[in-house]
Structure 1
Amino acid sequence: MAVFWLATRTPSGPSLAANPTPDPSDTGWEKAPSSPSPTPASSRSTPKSTPKPTGTGTKGGTDKSPRPESTPAKKPRAETRTTPPPADPPAGTRSPQLTAKEAYGIHGRYQRGLSVAQARKDQAAMAKLEHGLALEMTRAGFKTAEMQGTSLATGIWPNPQVWIPRHVEGVADWFVAVSHEPGVARIVDVMSSAPGGWRLVASAADTRATPARFPKIATDGEGYATSLPENATGLSATPRQIARAHLASLQNAEVDPRFDDGPWTSEAALFWQQERGRLEQADWRLTLSYRLEGPVRALRTSDGGALVWYGARSTELREAVREGAKVKLKGSAAVRTRNKSFAHSVSATYGRMYVTHVPPAGSNEPARVLGEWSDVLESHGD
């Protein structure tokens, strides 16, 4: 959700307030933090009421790419669960090649565990469900909810479809699960094996009423997907190059023509341009930092391109050039600063994750960012 800074007069001088734009139609999702994207604060949080996955689909998700729907589905019943699901077996006890049945079971246990942990705001339980930046983001979301005194959404995303890359010796196994509830969101989860079991390591969501077209993931004769290294060639840019270019566009607040227009590309860059201008008028300075964090994962798509997943840590630093105006944040960042106003500086750091389609080399199509997950990690000011 975008935020705009408005100048208001007080007896002690002007005060800048970050006011969120009007919310989209009610989808039951959490409100977004003070950021230039319309994605909810916890973009892949489970919905308040959704059914248990059916576990249907062909091995490896052959030709099961979700497509945008035009008619919203009825709100399904919520699943109630009071005890955590059993843990996944350690990676060393599994067969080398993951099967579709195993992948559905792993993702289903993750979803049920997440729903329970969110209901309880159980920080410790998340260590058995997520890893890396994803774990840090979820725990930060729990802390924000505790400070705000609000509950978190619980439930299960319906009818996931999985795509499983073949096992590569010496490399951690991973797979992708995609769920689409029309009128609510399309969620893309990445699960990876670890010594203690399987963990969610990346996720992204598109909460628009009609999500962008999702590319078909290429599969072999047995239904398995093909993973690509971060320096893979044959694309308009390598997966790592496309990740860095996207983050550079946001950090520099510059529209990059290599990317299609959208809420996580051109709209975000233009927002930061406008934000910088408003702050300069109030004698404040804006500094942005978007830093790639964690591995870059990619799967081959049937058009010869790739779907790429990557995470980042971003920081927004606002500093007063001279005394006068004060800044007060909104959204999750404001909760973390206890809704205080600041006269000298204020910063907010977010964890962010994206999924992007990269076209094949020689294509005239731009790269398309298909979803984001963001959560405020910390916010400070003086």
Structure 2
Amino acid sequence: MPAALTVAQARRIHDRYQRLMRRIFAAGGTGLEQAQAGLGLQLGQAGDRIARLRGDRPEPSKRVTGVDVAIPRPVAGQRRWFVAMPLYAGSSQRVHLVFQEGAAGWRLVAGSAAPLDHRLPDIALDADGLAAAVGEDAGGLTATPRALAQAHAASLSTFNADPRGRELITPGGYTSEAAVKARAERAQLRGQWKMQIRTRELPDLFSLRTTDGGTLTWYGLREQLVFTVAASGAQRIAFTDQPNVQTLSRGRSFSRHATVTSAGWFLAVIPAAMSRRAPRAEIVGDWWSALSVRGT
């Protein structure tokens, strides 16, 4: 069994990450793989690519005024990880950064940002000051972490028509409101194009027990918006109302098909099964980006 990190060690890992990111920004975004890995690296590279295509210079994050950490007790056979919660000067967002140990050392692999005024349940700590990691199929919750990720993917793929999403997740910006926007986008196509949403959950997720018996859970989704021409003489499709997608497409329009690939992390609060707080899970934050646009 690997030893648990100390708070001091976790803070040093976070501080090293912040120093590395300042150096990477100063170098124009080169070297992100030294600080990030997995989906976190893909999202960081996507942000850097979009900035470069726009001719913008990547900007470093705001000054860190403090940082709290939550370190789960190590689990045999699993890589060590922890969550850092930095406070940024003047920020209106609550940021969570998930670091995981790999062959090349510690890297940022996941994260989220949520409104600072949205209160989250406290992470439970034991007598040693360690948090408890929760398995993806853990019981005693209104939804297991894995079932929640699957339900969110199903909600996005079906314009919130899948019953799992409505049953397990509180309506809001990431489900019911996202479906309203997607249906409006589909309506704008006026039947000239067919629009499909294909969303799937990704293997990795991270969950910590909270003091009320629920969890804070970070899970990843990958999504493809697939547009296929459906009518002869249909107007070419472009993405002028989606700045990041338009940037990645380099301003192109498409006459036959187009696929927009996006991905990201979401933070959800999953209540205990008998919780009085809420009957369903609530998605409260994300780190999401368009990754690519392809088509003809």
TM-score, normalised via structure 1 length: 0.71
Maintained 8 Å contact 2:215/2:269: yes
Q: 1:130-153: per-residue Cα shift (whole Å, max 9, x none)?
A: 111111121122222222211112
* Partner residue, 2:271: 359
Maintained 8 Å contact 1:276/1:286: yes
Q: AA paired with 1:263? A: G
Maintained 8 Å contact 1:163/1:177: yes
Q: 1:325-353: per-residue Cα shift (whole Å, max 9, x none)?
A: 22111312111211122222222111211
* Partner residue, 2:136: 230
Alignment of 1:11-90 (within 5 A): none
* Partner residue, 1:36: none
Maintained 8 Å contact 2:143/2:168: no
Alignment of 1:140-151 (within 5 A): 140-151=46-57
* Partner residue, 2:100: 192
Alignment of 1:43-192 (within 5 A): 96-123=3-30, 125-155=31-61, 156-181=63-88, 183-192=91-100
SS, match of residue 154 in structure 1: coil
* Partner residue, 1:309: 218
- Picking from 190, 205, 213, the partner of 1:296 is 205
Cα distance in 1 for partners of 2:65, 2:171 equals 29
- Picking from 203, 206, 216, the partner of 2:122 is 216
2:228 corresponds to 1:319:
yes
* Partner residue, 1:372: 286
Cα distance in 1 for partners of 2:74, 2:154 equals 33
| Percent identical residues | 32
Which is further off, 194-203 or 287-296? 287-296
Q: 1:113-141: per-residue Cα shift (whole Å, max 9, x none)?
A: 12221332334x21121111111121122
Cα distance in 2 for partners of 1:251, 1:180 equals 35
Cα distance in 2 for partners of 1:333, 1:121 equals 21
TM-score, normalised via structure 2 length: 0.90
Cα 1:326/1:158, change in 2 over 3 Å? farther
Cα distance in 1 for partners of 2:249, 2:168 equals 37
* Partner residue, 1:284: 193
Maintained 8 Å contact 1:192/1:200: yes
Higher fraction of helix: 2
* Partner residue, 1:56: none
Structure 1 alignment gaps of length 5 or more: 1-94
**What is the deviation of 1:282?**
4.5
Cα distance in 1 for partners of 2:203, 2:17 equals 21
Q: AA paired with 1:217? A: I
Cα distance in 1 for partners of 2:139, 2:159 equals 28
Maintained 8 Å contact 1:118/1:142: no
Q: AA paired with 1:271? A: K
Count residues in correspondence. Answer: 285
Q: AA paired with 2:237? A: V
2:252 corresponds to 1:340:
yes
Maintained 8 Å contact 1:312/1:353: yes
Q: AA paired with 1:239? A: P
* Partner residue, 2:149: 243
Structure 2 alignment gaps of length 5 or more: none
Cα distance in 1 for partners of 2:156, 2:264 equals 12
Q: AA paired with 1:277? A: A
**Structure 1 stretches of 4+ moved >4 Å:** 180-183
Cα distance in 1 for partners of 2:104, 2:91 equals 36
Cα distance in 2 for partners of 1:157, 1:241 equals 35
* Partner residue, 2:184: 274
Maintained 8 Å contact 1:282/1:325: no
RMSD: 1.9
Maintained 8 Å contact 1:316/1:349: yes
* Partner residue, 1:201: 109
Cα distance in 1 for partners of 2:118, 2:171 equals 11
Cα distance in 1 for partners of 2:208, 2:153 equals 20
Q: 1:42-85: per-residue Cα shift (whole Å, max 9, x none)?
A: xxxxxxxxxxxxxxxxxxxxxxxxxxxxxxxxxxxxxxxxxxxx
* Partner residue, 1:38: none
Q: AA paired with 1:233? A: G
